[in-house]
Amino acid sequence: MSQDLDDEEDWELEDDEDEDQIMNEDPTRQLDVDICPQNLDQKIYDDIIALREKRLDLDEAIADEKIVLQSLQQTLGQTQIYSNKVDAELKSKHADLIDFQV
């Protein structure tokens, strides 16, 4: 049974070593947003970063607007219900008034 645990630990160590090796071999896995890749013009990279930030800002603004939209739709639904009640009461009162005048 202890042999099984040792095998499991060896397996985990091998996995960690494999991940370290992949990280060292594959430069795309170590990209830092603040560092421009060697084969890319710095201005293009800066423009890309600016566009990403703008997209994130727009995504956040869209999410905020969706929340406002949901709130307005809920308010509209409540207002329509109230309007229907007022219309029904108005018709009732109008009918009562006509009956009273006749």
Q: Contact at 8 Å (CB) between 36 and 42?
A: yes
pLDDT digits (tens, 9 = 90+) for 22-51: 555 555 556 677 788 888 899 999 999 999
Q: Provide the domain count of the chain.
A: 2
Distance CA 4, CA 75 (A): 63
Checking if the pLDDT of 88 tops 90, the result is yes
Q: Which residues contact 45 (CB under 8 A, 6 or more apart)?
A: 36, 37
Distance CA 24, CA 76 (A): 58
Residues 55 and 24 in one domain: no
Q: What local confidence, expressed as pLDDT, does residue 76 receive?
A: 98
Average pLDDT over residues 61-88: 98
Range of the domain at 84: 31-101
Residues 12 and 53 in one domain: no
- C-alpha count within 13 angstroms, C-beta hemisphere, residue 14: 6
- Lookup: tokens for 15: 């996995």
